[in-house]
Amino acid sequence: MNPKKVLEIISGGESSSVEFKRKSTTPKKLAKEIVAIANTSGGYLFVGVDDNGKIYGIASEKAESDIVMTACKFHIEPPIEGEIHIINLYDKDILLLVIKESTVKPHKLILDTDSKKPEYKVYIRLGEKSVEASREMTRLMRQTTEDKPLKLSIGEKEKRLFSYLEKNDRVTVKDFARLVNISDRRAERLMIRLVRAGALSIHNDSHHDYFTLK
């Protein structure tokens, strides 16, 4: 990637697809950001750039590259293959990791790489933050990746949901469950199917997921 394009991206600031790190901390902390970007729409991770976009540079190309590769290979399940570029800006080297939107979502952060039964967390980007994905969002990512044939029938419950949304801006899983008197889990499954079918959109406001008509 040429320096002019890199400067254009940096000048746009952090976003759902761009993350700045003044310096690498640990592979695990970097892995969280990489997971979130890959699970959303892909993007760029910069090392050697402050949160405000100021170029600080990196001290060691090899050391920073090793930390990033360790994050991608050993702290993420399934591992991510990002493209590492070393770019010179204003006589300072920065590291750029290009992260493609994943086709095998959801990627998970491995919380303890030394455990025989490690625990995982799934992250997505919400604006310039990496936040833990809800159960609904994780299920949607998994089902979309599996891409199984979807048979959708519009019954009384779905009709009542659409009627509710014509009068209200949004609806949550709990709202829908109460509306049609079903369990939260069943309401979640029905709403995820409607998202996959293109009838609903799912959103996250950092507190919970909500759904709107598409």
For the cut 60, the answer to whether the pLDDT of residue 110 exceeds it is yes
| pLDDT tens readout for residues 174-191 | 999 999 999 998 998 888
- State how many domains the chain has: 2
| pLDDT tens readout for residues 30-42 | 999 999 999 999 9
Query: Are both 20 and 113 inside the same structural domain?
Result: yes
Query: Are both 121 and 32 inside the same structural domain?
Result: yes
User: Which residues, other chains included, contact 57 with Cβ-Cβ below 8 Å and sequence gap of 6+?
Assistant: 48, 92, 93, 94
Asked if the structure places residue 200 within a domain, the reply is yes
The pLDDT value given to residue 147: 61
Query: Are both 48 and 76 inside the same structural domain?
Result: yes
118: domain CATH number is 3.30.950.30
Query: Are both 121 and 21 inside the same structural domain?
Result: yes
188: domain CATH number is 1.10.10.10
Query: Are both 120 and 164 inside the same structural domain?
Result: no
Asked if the structure places residue 137 within a domain, the reply is no
For the cut 60, the answer to whether the pLDDT of residue 149 exceeds it is no
Query: Are both 96 and 200 inside the same structural domain?
Result: no
The pLDDT value given to residue 146: 64
End-of-domain residue from the set 74, 97, 132? 132
Query: Are both 95 and 172 inside the same structural domain?
Result: no
**pTM, full prediction:** 0.79
The pLDDT value given to residue 198: 79
| pLDDT tens readout for residues 77-104 | 999 988 999 999 999 999 999 999 988 9
Q: Determine the residue type at 131.
A: V
The pLDDT value given to residue 206: 63
Domain that holds residue 161: 143-213
Asked if the structure places residue 160 within a domain, the reply is yes
Asked if the structure places residue 84 within a domain, the reply is yes
Asked if the structure places residue 138 within a domain, the reply is no
End-of-domain residue from the set 97, 112, 132? 132
For the cut 80, the answer to whether the pLDDT of residue 73 exceeds it is yes
Query: Are both 7 and 102 inside the same structural domain?
Result: yes
Query: Are both 170 and 107 inside the same structural domain?
Result: no
Closest CA to 108 of 140, 146, 79, 148: 79
Query: Are both 109 and 161 inside the same structural domain?
Result: no
End-of-domain residue from the set 86, 109, 132? 132
Q: Where are the alpha helices (DSSP H) in the chain?
A: 3-11, 27-39, 61-74, 135-146, 156-167, 173-180, 184-196
Per-residue pLDDT band at 113 (split at 50, 70, 90): confident
Query: Are both 93 and 178 inside the same structural domain?
Result: no
Give the C-alpha distances (Å, rounded to integers) separating 176 from 83, 202, 210: 43, 14, 10
Query: Are both 29 and 85 inside the same structural domain?
Result: yes
